[in-house]
Chain A
Amino acid sequence: GNSVTQMEGPVTLSEEAFLTINCTYTATGYPSLFWYVQYPGEGLQLLLKATKADDKGSNKGFEATYRKETTSFHLEKGSVQVSDSAVYFCALSASGTASKLTFGTGTRLQVTL
């Protein structure tokens, strides 16, 4: 079946450090890939997405590139801020099941001054 694997957290960084959160997936066909962010006490917010191979999703300084050859969608940001502290979820939507999202277990990011 479809699955998403994320690096385990927590990830602790100093402000202005470079961020990478690894995500790999298993799916048949050509899934769409997403990163969602969850702030404490809130639901999930879509951060960025990519719908086909080699697409780059970007938003608020975050980027991720859909790599079909390595089945990966790693999240990166060049300079993190304290306000980026949250839990980040990688997710996929497989072909033919467009409304069903399969999530990874999430990676908690803590950014300190």
Chain B
Amino acid sequence: DAGVTQSPTHLIKTRGQQVTLRCSPKSGHDTVSWYQQALGQGPQFIFQYYEEEERQRGNFPDRFSGHQFPNYSSELNVNALLLGDSALYLCASSRRDRDYQPQHFGDGTRLSIL
């Protein structure tokens, strides 16, 4: 039973560029949430997708956007990259009919901005 998978593992971009990160949820899960984890900090909630729509959003600017596909997989897009966007981006999946708990996390994508 595959868990949550994220790609790519690592990514290096320069300021002003755009990036797309991908997430496949655990089998049987229908909800995907994205988190940003800066070095030495706890993860910060970006947003959650269910039924292909954004359902909740944290305190992140509109440069951060996402998408969920009919197979429940998801993408996180970040435009106009800033140095401060350097972080580990974590995807978590869950089931809405189990009140979204527990959330299962992928190993993350390490994004470095030069």
Contacts and interface: CB of A to CB of B under 8 A. Distances in A.
Nearest to B43: A103
Contacts, number: 62
A102 B107 contact: no
Contact of B101 (A4, A42, A43, A93): A93
Interface stretch (A12-20, A44-52, A67-75): A44-52
Size category of the A interface is: 20 to 34
B41 A106 contact: yes
Given A45-B105, A91-B42, 6 more contacts: A34-B102, A43-B4, A98-B99, A98-B100, A99-B103, A103-B42
A105 interface: yes
15 contacts: A34-B102, A41-B107, A43-B108, A44-B92, A44-B105, A45-B105, A49-B101, A89-B43, A97-B56, A98-B100, A98-B101, A101-B33, A103-B44, A104-B42, A105-B41
